[in-house]
Amino acid sequence: MKIIQLDPSLTYRPEPENYLYRNYKYGPLVDRVKMTYTLMHKYQTLQFVKDKHVQWCTRTHRRMSVMEALSLLDNLVDESDPDVDFPNSFHAYQTAEAIRKVHPEKGWFQLVGLIHDIGKILALDNEPQWSVVGDTFPVGCKFQQSIVFSDTTFKDNADTNDPIFSTKYGIYKPNCGLENVLMSWGHDEYLYKVLTFNDCTIPEKGLYMIRFHSFYPWHTGGDYQHLCNEKDHKMLPWVKEFNKFDLYTKTEELPNIETLRPYYQSLIDKYCPGELKW
């Protein structure tokens, strides 16, 4: 049974109640956003995702620290985001600082807020944005209606009419667990793979937030319950707790990164120290 999730941010809104986030119907950025999703939904097939895992999950592309990776986001504006049009590095500190105010004792949670999007550096390394940014969704099974723009953008996807991939379960077994599902390729899975490969000590629930924070069709749309297991249900409240800070901190009031950097460097040194293999 599909469970429709309520707005996870009712207790945290730095903007007025009538401010509309994730507006995919109108606004100055909508055409750009829809084009990004149109390309994503056309080309993100099961085979494409498998190929990207082979290409990027060897961790042999470069070595750099987390702070160096974060600084690269100064050069990236997310083309799938209908809410803001400024570099992702500012959003990283906005999210982290909001978490810090509400959860001052959870340094690992603050760090997750800071680094959750740094996998987007793939878009600075010859990956098109449609293969890096945006909401994620499972491949290898039927695309669900809660995926943004799903009514028009999957018609040219090669998996849409496949006799197996177009079924409810596709290549998966009931309640197999999201960790056993191949998601559309993007920054979530890439960063998760980097952090686990480098033995970073962020708690499991933090790594889970990173891996599935863009899976809006699940944590907000209520779809794909048939693939979830007990672990996913237990982790869902943590993902929703993270989501309210990720989404509702997107304001034009930009943080002073220079003053904040030393504090967050101390968290990086604790949980993800030194040079990582990317």
Residue 91 annotated as part of some ligand binding site: yes
- Please report which helix (H) or strand (E) contains residue 232, including its range: helix 230-247
Residue 65 annotated as part of some ligand binding site: no
Residue 15 annotated as part of some ligand binding site: no
The beta-strand segments (E) located in 29-98 are 63-64
Residue 61 annotated as part of some ligand binding site: no
Compute the distance between CA of residue 190 and CA of residue 199 in angstroms, rounded to an integer. Answer: 15
Say what angle helices 204-212 and 187-197 make with each other, to 10 degrees: 150
Residue whose pair of structure tokens reads 């048939």 in the numeric block: 226
Residue 53 annotated as part of some ligand binding site: no
Residue 266 annotated as part of some ligand binding site: no
Residue 135 annotated as part of some ligand binding site: yes
CA angle 113, 105, 250 (to 5 degrees): 30
Measure the N-to-C terminal CA separation of the chain; round to a whole number of Å.
Answer: 39
Left if phi > 0, otherwise alpha if psi is -120 to 50, otherwise beta: which for 46?
A: alpha
Residue 246 annotated as part of some ligand binding site: yes
Copy the structure tokens of residue 6.
């309520």
Copy the structure tokens of residue 120.
């987007």
CB 278 within 8 A of CB 69: yes
Contacts of 111 (CB under 8 A, 6+ apart): 96, 202, 206, 264, 267, 268, 271, 272
Known binding-site residues equal 22, 78-80, 91, 116-117, 120, 134-135, 187, 213-214, 246
Known binding-site residues for Fe cation equal 91, 116-117, 187, 213, 246
Known binding-site residues for substrate equal 22, 78-80, 120, 134-135, 213-214
